[in-house]
Amino acid sequence: MGASAWRYRADYQQDVGAALRQLRQKVYDRGEYYRESVEGDPDLELTEEEFGARLDPRNDDDGFNDAIIEDWRERKRRPVPVDPDTLFAAQPHSGTHSIIDMVNGVSDRPDFATVSPLTSEELIEAFGSTTPQSSQVQEWIKAGGGLRERWFGTYVISYRDGQPDHIHFCGFSGD
């Protein structure tokens, strides 16, 4: 499927981690994420014996059936999503193609499944200032600014009249 770019904006609050958690919950509540189709999967309704009996016995010698059964077991153990974290746990290989994938929270520097700020140098390079306006940040993100490696998110605080106004989040994730 490939990764998907995402971008969000939240009203400023001093605790960026709290803003991230709230935004992840809003995205979950609105259903604005990729969801693997597992509901109604008839294979998951079977017992392991029933599932195994449906496999081609010619694949037993090379371990192919064992791999298929192990994958089935792993899918069967996944939780039923009730919040952003259980949704992510239910589809760890594909992700959600949204900010929900930032399960490790906020980090001072880029890290897997986190959002992190730009350095002062990066802010000046991108905006000519360490206190960019919201419109500047939005245009920069639309133009592809802030995208790091897959599964690494970025956040930028924008300002209005010299005061923090919004937190902008962007990244790309999913497989």
Cβ proximity of 115 and 168 under 8 Å: no
Q: Tell me the pLDDT band of 14, cut-offs 50, 70 and 90.
A: very high
pLDDT at 150: 94
Range of the domain at 9: 4-34+94-173
pLDDT, one tens digit per residue, over 95-142 is 999 999 999 999 999 999 999 999 999 999 999 999 999 999 999 999
Residue 84 domain flag: no
Q: Tell me the pLDDT band of 39, cut-offs 50, 70 and 90.
A: low
pLDDT at 76: 78
Cβ proximity of 140 and 116 under 8 Å: no
Q: Does position 36 have pLDDT exceeding 70, yes or no? A: yes
Residue 9 domain flag: yes
Q: Does position 38 have pLDDT exceeding 80, yes or no? A: no
Of the candidates 174, 173, 153, 175, the one whose C-alpha atom is nearest the C-alpha of residue 10 is 153
Query: What is the rounded distance in angstroms from the CA atom of residue 173 to the CA atom of residue 30?
Result: 19
Q: Does position 8 have pLDDT exceeding 90, yes or no? A: yes
Residue 150 domain flag: yes
What does each C-alpha distance from 64 to 28, 55, 67, 71 come to in angstroms?
36, 10, 5, 11
pLDDT at 58: 81
Give the count of domains, the chain.
1
* Mean pLDDT to the nearest integer, 26-49: 83
Question: Per-residue DSSP letters for 33-55?
Answer: S-----TT-GGGGS-HHHHHHTS
Q: Does position 20 have pLDDT exceeding 60, yes or no? A: yes
pLDDT at 1: 58
Residue 130 domain flag: yes
Query: What is the rounded distance in angstroms from the CA atom of residue 9 to the CA atom of residue 7?
Result: 7
pLDDT, one tens digit per residue, over 41-99 is 788 788 888 888 888 888 777 788 888 888 888 877 777 889 999 999 988 888 999 99
Query: What is the rounded distance in angstroms from the CA atom of residue 101 to the CA atom of residue 94?
Result: 10
pLDDT at 85: 95
